[in-house]
């Protein structure tokens, strides 16, 4: 077909009209953006993004709004994957249509014209890299960050490519090149690269310093402070305390100290009062708007367990869940609750929260805690649940050994316990970080604590570990942690039947100048438990009983699940009992407790059957040396079976439903 001059004019006109229309649509989109007031995470932002995309899907602004919305709202892998699609689209369109605006310029008027594009680009790159991290694609995250690095902007709006890459190497240090191709073969090399990138932060803005000082003085020290921050994290991980404290102090001078990280630095030195103060400050400074792992809640809950302040250990985490919901951190919070209920003696609740954690796909946001540690925690509390469930059965009925149903339940728990322990030990033996993490007992990346670490390694070669902990006593500068090394040495001697050596090491812990009777009740209780076992084996029953009583006074919730048997006096206030009440008393006395008479060396459990609104109630009280240790009541209206057993647990401060 022959193209005439008229056709050319028509075609040109149509092209011009289309271009004019597209230009008008972009002007309208820019107007909508300028007039937008509100949060990118709000529904209005999403609706506006869809309107913009409908007007012109080839313009970056609508995708920019949608990307921000999806990123802010994401709370799981699926959400971050959806955000990635929008972010990639927005970045690609911005790069395509505004290449000149995304070039480095030191001419102020040209920079003013480019400012909004460079700002948006920097934030899009940051969000995109974070999304790739959260969906376990750190290699992609590094590639994305390098796109910003290659632009070499005068100002990166607080987003440092070097700090981001340093963080990625630190977070993935334990993996191999087979998993992520950018990594080196071992942890030490990966940490060295992380440290080198952190060093580069300090010098990265030197060629921009005049512009920063002149036009953005509030951000002039950003590179230096970011350098301090990441070096602090790396040195804390390596337990290089003087260096970590130095960088913490530099951050404090500029009011940029992370109180969460500083709390962790104190925690790994067993300075629990200082750690708790820092965690409290971190909590007060956090509005819980950012959905990520709140390490300070998890860690302070552990300190409360060490103190035997179990209600606080639970409430801290419950409030965290209330504030965060099912956002990232939900799984870690459920692990912390599982731990708190485990030490409270409530196995049913501990299992409930452990199962929630195991069934939740955690996204490890804002923390170097990763999937390996998460899975190990859930497996650990599975193992501990089955182990303690055996003790639960034997405590409830000391005649369990001739009841087939209970023997079957014990064998079932034993089988599952052994399977879980086999998996744990095989994982631990293959973990390249076991030396800096678990064997140091307190380490910045270690969120399994000393009492649980003992359960992990107690069946390993005792000579091997005794040597490890003796060497640490000579080499480790953390004086407050030394008593924990002594404790582990004592426990291995006890396992080997070397009772004199065990007693010597246990006593050394009790004599330690740094032993904190407020913050270390769990350790003190375990020491007295070990001493009671050792003295009993040596047939020194006076010392064995003294330590058994000290074990009870420090952490009674542990005793029903121990190999030791507690002694109680027992009193019933009622002069006559109904057959139902006699059965309750019989069930109580069948529990694995040694009942004594009129022996004031032991606690006295008193009960009284009363009525409340026609419901039968058991009032109980535990008295030790004229002081009330526990008291309360048990309403039988909602108790289906074995209230006597529940009263027995109440004598140890364990309130089961």
CB contact set of 251 (below 8 Å; sequence gap of 6+):
225, 228, 229, 232, 257, 258
CB atoms within 10 A of CB 589: 13
In a domain, 324, yes or no: no
- What integer pLDDT is reported at residue 639 of this predicted model? 82
Domain boundary among 158, 192, 213: 158
Q: How far is CA 162 from CA 81, 121, 267, in A?
A: 24, 17, 28
What CATH number has the domain bearing residue 402? 1.25.40
- What integer pLDDT is reported at residue 186 of this predicted model? 87
Please list the residues that pair with 621 across neighbouring strands: 606, 631
Question: Same domain for 384 and 496?
Answer: yes
In a domain, 153, yes or no: yes
Question: Are the C-beta atoms of residues 45 and 75 closer than 8 Å to each other?
Answer: no
Question: Same domain for 100 and 26?
Answer: yes
Question: Same domain for 541 and 572?
Answer: no
Question: Are the C-beta atoms of residues 166 and 201 closer than 8 Å to each other?
Answer: yes
In a domain, 576, yes or no: yes
Question: Same domain for 129 and 28?
Answer: yes
> What is the DSSP code (8-state) at residue 58?
T
Question: Same domain for 129 and 46?
Answer: yes
CB atoms within 10 A of CB 406: 16
In a domain, 218, yes or no: no
CB atoms within 10 A of CB 588: 24
Question: Same domain for 591 and 518?
Answer: no
- What integer pLDDT is reported at residue 4 of this predicted model? 58
3-state secondary structure of 371: helix
What's the domain count of the chain?
3
Instruction: Tokens for 119, please give them.
Output: 């700002």
In a domain, 193, yes or no: no
- Residue 608: which domain range? 567-650
Question: Same domain for 508 and 621?
Answer: no
Question: Same domain for 435 and 545?
Answer: yes
What distance in Å separates the CA atoms of residue 306 and residue 292, rounded to the nearest whole number? 25
Of the candidates 391, 378, 396, the one whose C-alpha atom is nearest the C-alpha of residue 338 is 378
- Please tell me the pTM assigned to this model: 0.90
> What is the DSSP code (8-state) at residue 4?
P
Question: Same domain for 575 and 448?
Answer: no
Task: Give the helix/strand (H/E) hosting 267.
Answer: helix 259-267
What distance in Å separates the CA atoms of residue 516 and residue 316, rounded to the nearest whole number? 22
In a domain, 439, yes or no: yes
The pLDDT tens digits for 342-401 are: 999 999 999 999 999 999 888 877 787 888 888 899 999 999 999 999 999 999 998 888
Domain boundary among 120, 143, 158: 158
What CATH number has the domain bearing residue 577? 3.30.160
- What integer pLDDT is reported at residue 146 of this predicted model? 94
Positions in the chain short of pLDDT 50? 1, 9-18
Question: Same domain for 486 and 612?
Answer: no
- What integer pLDDT is reported at residue 11 of this predicted model? 45
The β-bridge relationship of strands 567-572 and 604-612 is parallel
Domain boundary among 514, 544, 561: 561
Question: Same domain for 408 and 520?
Answer: yes
> What is the DSSP code (8-state) at residue 106?
-
In a domain, 145, yes or no: yes
Question: Are the C-beta atoms of residues 330 and 321 closer than 8 Å to each other?
Answer: yes
Question: Same domain for 40 and 133?
Answer: yes
656 φ, ψ to 5°? Answer: -95, 150
In a domain, 106, yes or no: yes
């Amino acid at each position: 077909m022959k193209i005439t001059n008229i056709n050319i004019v028509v075609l040109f006109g149509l092209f011009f009209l289309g271009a004019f229309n597209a230009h008008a649509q972009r002007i309208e989109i820019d107007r909508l953006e300028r007039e937008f007031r509100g949060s990118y995470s709000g529904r209005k932002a999403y609706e506006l993004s869809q309107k913009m995309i409908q007007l012109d899907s080839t313009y970056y602004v609508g995708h920019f709004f949608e990307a921000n919305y999806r990123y802010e709202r994401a709370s799981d892998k699926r959400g971050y994957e959806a955000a990635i699609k929008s972010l990639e689209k927005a970045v690609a369109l911005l790069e395509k249509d505004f290449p000149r605006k995304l070039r480095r310029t030191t001419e102020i008027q040209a920079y003013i014209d480019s400012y909004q594009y460079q700002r948006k680009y920097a934030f899009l790159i940051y969000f995109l890299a974070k999304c790739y991290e959260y969906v376990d694609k750190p290699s992609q995250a590094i590639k994305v960050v390098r796109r910003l690095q290659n632009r070499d902007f005068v100002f990166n709006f607080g987003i440092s490519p070097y700090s981001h890459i340093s963080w990625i190497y630190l977070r993935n240090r334990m993996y191999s090149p087979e998993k992520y191709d950018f990594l080196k073969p071992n942890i030490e090399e990966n940490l060295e690269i992380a440290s080198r990138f952190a060093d580069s932060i300090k010098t990265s803005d030197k060629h921009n310093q005049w512009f920063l000082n002149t036009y953005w003085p509030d951000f002039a020290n950003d590179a230096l402070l970011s350098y301090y921050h990441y070096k602090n994290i790396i040195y804390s991980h390596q337990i290089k305390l003087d260096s970590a404290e130095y960088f913490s102090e530099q951050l404090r001078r500029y009011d940029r100290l992370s109180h969460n990280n500083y709390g962790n630095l104190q925690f790994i030195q067993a300075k629990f009062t200082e750690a708790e103060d820092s965690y409290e400050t971190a909590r007060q400074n956090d509005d819980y708007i950012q959905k990520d792992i709140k390490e300070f809640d998890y860690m302070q809950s552990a300190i409360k367990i060490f103190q035997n302040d179990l209600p606080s250990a639970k409430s801290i985490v419950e409030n965290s869940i209330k504030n965060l919901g099912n956002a990232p951190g939900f799984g870690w919070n459920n692990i912390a609750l599982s731990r708190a209920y485990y030490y409270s003696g409530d196995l049913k609740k501990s299992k409930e929260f452990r199962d929630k954690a195991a069934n939740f796909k955690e996204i490890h946001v804002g923390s170097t805690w990763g999937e390996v540690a998460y899975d190990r925690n859930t497996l650990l509390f599975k193992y501990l649940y089955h182990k303690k469930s055996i003790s639960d059965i034997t405590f409830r009925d000391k005649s369990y050994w001739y009841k087939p149903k209970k023997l079957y339940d014990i064998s079932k728990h034993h089988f599952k316990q052994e399977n879980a322990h086999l998996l744990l030990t095989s994982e631990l033996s293959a973990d390249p970080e076991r030396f800096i993490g678990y064997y140091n007992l307190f380490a910045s990346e270690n969120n399994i604590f000393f009492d649980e670490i003992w359960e992990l390694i107690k069946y390993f070669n005792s000579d091997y570990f005794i040597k490890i902990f003796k060497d640490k006593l000579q080499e480790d500068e953390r004086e407050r942690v030394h008593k924990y090394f002594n404790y582990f040495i004592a426990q291995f001697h006890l396992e080997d039947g070397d009772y004199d050596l065990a007693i010597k090491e246990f006593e050394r812990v009790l004599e330690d100048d740094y032993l904190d009777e407020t913050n270390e009740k769990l350790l003190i209780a375990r020491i007295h438990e070990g001493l009671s076992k050792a003295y009993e084996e040596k047939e020194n029953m006076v010392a064995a009983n003294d330590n058994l009583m000290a074990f009870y006074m420090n952490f009674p919730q542990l005793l029903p699940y121990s190999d030791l048997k507690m002694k109680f006096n027992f009193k019933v206030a009622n002069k006559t009992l109904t057959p139902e009440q006699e059965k309750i008393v019989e069930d109580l006395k069948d529990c694995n407790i040694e009942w004594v008479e009129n022996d004031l060396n032991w606690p006295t459990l008193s009960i009284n059957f009363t009525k409340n609104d026609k419901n039968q109630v058991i009032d109980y009280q535990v008295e030790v040396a004229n002081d009330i240790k526990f008291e309360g009541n048990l309403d039988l209206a909602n108790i289906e079976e074995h209230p006597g057993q529940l009263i027995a647990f109440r004598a140890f401060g364990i309130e089961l439903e």
